[in-house]
Structure 1
Amino acid sequence: MKQMIVHCSQHMTRMALLEEGRLVEYAAEREEQQGLVGSYYKGRVMNVLPGMQAAFVDIGQKKNAFLYVDDVLHPHLEKQPRVKPSIDTLLRPGQEIVVQVRKEPRGNKGARVTTHYTLPGRWMVYMPFAEYVGVSKKIGRESERSRLKALGERLRKNEEGLIMRTVSEDEPPEAVEGDLSILRAQWKGIMRRAQKVEAPALLHRDLSIVQRFIRDTFDPLRDELLIDSQQAVREAETFLSEMAPDGYKPVERYAGNLPIFAAYGVEEQLERGFSRKITLDGGATLIWDEAEALTVIDVNTAQYTGGASLEETVTRTNLLAAEEIGHLIRLRDTGGIIVIDFIDMELDEHRKMVVGRLERIVGRDRTKTHILGWTRLGLLEMTRKKVRHDALEFSSRLCECCGGTGRTPLRKPGQG
């Protein structure tokens, strides 16, 4: 059973997802900075740069959005030309265009946008121009994959594309078709608004953080939802009644004496999970360092001495570390390139065991993750799709003294 614990304050909503009491996902959203990912804008092309094969689009934000040529070409790879055309043959300055945000703005970079439009629903993802049907890889039964593939092909029209989500497994055709009808109506509404407004303009905003998690991870009949705000309870129940018309467990209003995150042990788990140094059972440690596009994780035996031989001790440590790293990557919502410095192992068999353990854990993650393998220096490389701001940005801030480096300048001679 899962529990969604939601804390609402004046300026921020924080959401924690617990599985059997263990914190597995955390996210936060400021009221004045609701995420842009998934939202649609009518934008105006400001610059077209053939040398970068990209364009910059004004969508009404502080920074112009970045639109790469791949996000302008047809979303179906088989429909794309073998040789990419120059982007200045596809777009021109001043042109108005409907775009969808696929990556949040970060630092000095604007949002990344695309014309490969998607609208996620409860059972599927709707793509108005993709012209194919896909089925979630997490659905293992070939008979069910074939059923959903055939159902999608029967339901889609003309240029439409559909991706059948994991939760659509064993769902009746009527439920899936009803979801598609809602998404089609939503898409038509976006297009109608685009015809009426001048660029730059917001056409459609993605769901709030609580609604997204209800849609993507919540089982309305089994899981629990606890919120410490009466208004948020009403909003969640309204959304659930639309998403699950056949019934759902009532949303619980938390009114205890302790803050909700403290009452359910969330704060304690957050403090540990977002530390730079994480101690594992038995005394081994992880050192976690993050840069803008790269995360480095160092595994140390530290006080762990639990094996009959050095190779056994090292392998046990690495297996423990792999399980915890897979869990923390999801919790911290770490994205980009991830390099893990496991302790050196002599046997290929043991290295395969460690990779297998890590693959099993990250397989539970909804975000696309790819383990590339071992480098010649014995480091394990992996990547994880980066879409939204890291959860770390909402749980801490850079040190005012060192700016996040962990070091401060030495005093010059003569200074007090």
Structure 2
Amino acid sequence: MKGVVIALGSLNGQEVAARMIDGQLEDLLVAMPDGTLAPGAICRARVGRQIKGMGGVFLDLPGGQSGFLRQAKGLRPGQTLLVQVSGVPEPGKAVPVTPRLTIKGRYGIVTPDAPGVNVSRQVTEEGEPARLAALGQAAMAGADASMGLILRSGAEGVAEGVLTEDIAALRDLAQRLLADTSGPPELLLDAPGPHDTAWRDWTTPDPDEVATGPTALRDHGVIDAMDALIAPVVRLPGGASMAVEPTRALVAVDVNTAEGSPAAGLKASIAAARELPRQLRLRGLGGQVLVDFAPFPRKERTTLEQVLRAAFRRDGPATTLAGWTPLGNFELQRRREAMPLAAALRHRGG
């Protein structure tokens, strides 16, 4: 089906949101298990033990969970502070958190300790950046000088009254959170679920249809696409393939081509590089990723690196391209922003 369809439903009692573009799954959100601190959640935490040489400190989080903050300077055991969950931990490890809070809405993001009003670079309509900047300045007038605002791309063309209301709500919420620093570890603001996140973040491009109901996911091919994501092998153009297999230590990616020529190897590797960010994002995979590309001439490495950089630049989660290993594989590090899809469905009996 041509166009953009957002499908909202549930699978095994688990909330799911999907965005299909021209019949292909481009974005997928699956609810994390109950009791899990999802990325975006804001908590009051207590400083625990500091371990020399780790460059950070462990925190006591709500529900008896443990967090890890990559910052120890100026903190003392027993101190309380506000933190935001910044990623999904590896099994058995502490929840990664950050002290830099962002309170995100549909049209704006309030940024405590990051002053100033900024407009997304994706806002390009003539005169719109200036309009939004002026509106943001007016909406933040009287707020604490350390509090900033980012106008999101979805704010482009939105009426002043709607934007002002959204920013005011975010500003009030931020002020309440910043004043709530005393007491035991507590969840102060939970991360939104998949349906609310889809409404908040999937504003561009405008959807042609928002499908809801018990059959929305199946009717629009989401279930079939999810089944394909559980399988390790991804089909690439020209008969090539890419296997994406997570292990406890890393995500292993193996690219194969149907032909044995160097030209075919480069073509398959380029196709894999373009598809890899999407596959990692939809599968909920992050951490260390090791890619064994199909054989191709060594002199073409620069070409492939350019394709990789462009592909990951367009994608969401922060990714560090570490480079080539002595054995000729490519290493990268990707922030964990979601629970692996297979684990999330397995947890709910899927």
* TM-score tier after normalising by the smaller chain length: 0.7 to 0.9
Partner residue, 1:128: 112
Q: Which residue of 262, 278, 281 maps to 2:234?
A: 278
Report the Cα distance in structure 2 between the residues aligned to 1:45 and 1:293, rounded to whole angstroms.
28
Runs (4+) of structure 1 moved beyond 6 Å? Answer: 140-147
Partner residue, 2:7: 5
Superposition pairs of residues 80-159 of structure 1, within 5 angstroms: 87=73, 90-136=74-120, 138=122, 156=140, 157=143, 158-159=145-146
Q: Select the structure with the greater relative contact order (CA < 8 A; seq sep ≥ 6).
A: 2
Change (3 A) 1:339 1:49: closer
Q: Structure 1 residue 222 and structure 2 residue 207: aligned?
A: yes
Change (3 A) 1:150 1:366: farther
Partner residue, 2:341: 391
Change (3 A) 1:141 1:347: farther
Report the Cα distance in structure 1 between the residues aligned to 2:322 and 2:338, rounded to whole angstroms.
23
Report the Cα distance in structure 1 between the residues aligned to 2:322 and 2:118, rounded to whole angstroms.
24
Superposition pairs of residues 304-323 of structure 1, within 5 angstroms: 304=259, 310-323=261-274
Q: Which residue of 32, 35, 47 maps to 2:34?
A: 32
Secondary structure of the equivalent of 2:199? helix
| 128-137 or 320-329, larger mean C-alpha shift | 128-137
Deviation sequence 1:162-215 (CA, Å, 0-9, x none):
3333334455665544432111111123245545xx312222212112101211
Report the Cα distance in structure 1 between the residues aligned to 2:127 and 2:289, rounded to whole angstroms.
36
Report the Cα distance in structure 1 between the residues aligned to 2:13 and 2:225, rounded to whole angstroms.
23
Q: Structure 1 residue 381 and structure 2 residue 331: aligned?
A: yes
Deviation at 1:316, TM superposition (A): 2.1
Partner residue, 1:327: 278
Partner residue, 2:224: 268
Report the Cα distance in structure 2 between the residues aligned to 1:280 and 1:201, rounded to whole angstroms.
47
The amino acid that maps onto 1:59 is L
CA contact (8 A) 2:10 2:16 kept: yes
Q: Structure 1 residue 167 and structure 2 residue 154: aligned?
A: yes
Superposition pairs of residues 193-208 of structure 1, within 5 angstroms: 193-194=180-181, 198-208=183-193
The amino acid that maps onto 1:342 is F
Q: Structure 1 residue 188 and structure 2 residue 175: aligned?
A: yes
Change (3 A) 1:370 1:31: closer
Deviation sequence 1:86-138 (CA, Å, 0-9, x none):
63xx2222222222222234422221222211111122221121224555455
Secondary structure of the equivalent of 1:61? helix
Change (3 A) 1:54 1:380: closer
The amino acid that maps onto 1:323 is R
Change (3 A) 1:381 1:162: farther
Report the Cα distance in structure 1 between the residues aligned to 2:206 and 2:53, rounded to whole angstroms.
53
CA contact (8 A) 1:368 1:385 kept: yes
Q: How many residues align structurally? A: 342
Pick the structure with greater CA Rg: 1
Partner residue, 2:254: 298
Partner residue, 2:18: 16
| 19-28 or 370-379, larger mean C-alpha shift | 370-379
Change (3 A) 1:327 1:26: same
Q: Runs of 5+ in structure 1 lacking a partner?
A: 70-85, 229-253, 398-416
- Calculate the aligned-residue CA RMSD, in Å: 3.3
Report the Cα distance in structure 2 between the residues aligned to 1:376 and 1:143, rounded to whole angstroms.
51
Deviation sequence 1:229-255 (CA, Å, 0-9, x none):
xxxxxxxxxxxxxxxxxxxxxxxxx5x
Report the Cα distance in structure 2 between the residues aligned to 1:34 and 1:17, rounded to whole angstroms.
24
The amino acid that maps onto 2:42 is Y
Deviation sequence 1:351-379 (CA, Å, 0-9, x none):
44434444444344232334444455443
Change (3 A) 1:24 1:139: same
Change (3 A) 1:282 1:40: same
Q: Which residue of 357, 366, 376 maps to 2:316?
A: 366
The amino acid that maps onto 1:224 is E
The amino acid that maps onto 1:129 is D
Q: Runs of 5+ in structure 2 lacking a partner?
A: none
The amino acid that maps onto 1:96 is T
Deviation sequence 1:328-363 (CA, Å, 0-9, x none):
122213212323222232264x44443444444434
Report the Cα distance in structure 1 between the residues aligned to 2:118 and 2:110, rounded to whole angstroms.
11
CA contact (8 A) 1:55 1:68 kept: yes
Deviation at 1:153, TM superposition (A): 6.0
CA contact (8 A) 1:11 1:30 kept: no
Secondary structure of the equivalent of 1:343? coil
Secondary structure of the equivalent of 2:224? helix
Partner residue, 1:407: none
Secondary structure of the equivalent of 2:269? helix
Q: What's the TM-score, normalizing by structure 1?
A: 0.70
Deviation at 1:276, TM superposition (A): 1.9
Report the Cα distance in structure 1 between the residues aligned to 2:274 and 2:287, rounded to whole angstroms.
19
Secondary structure of the equivalent of 2:200? helix
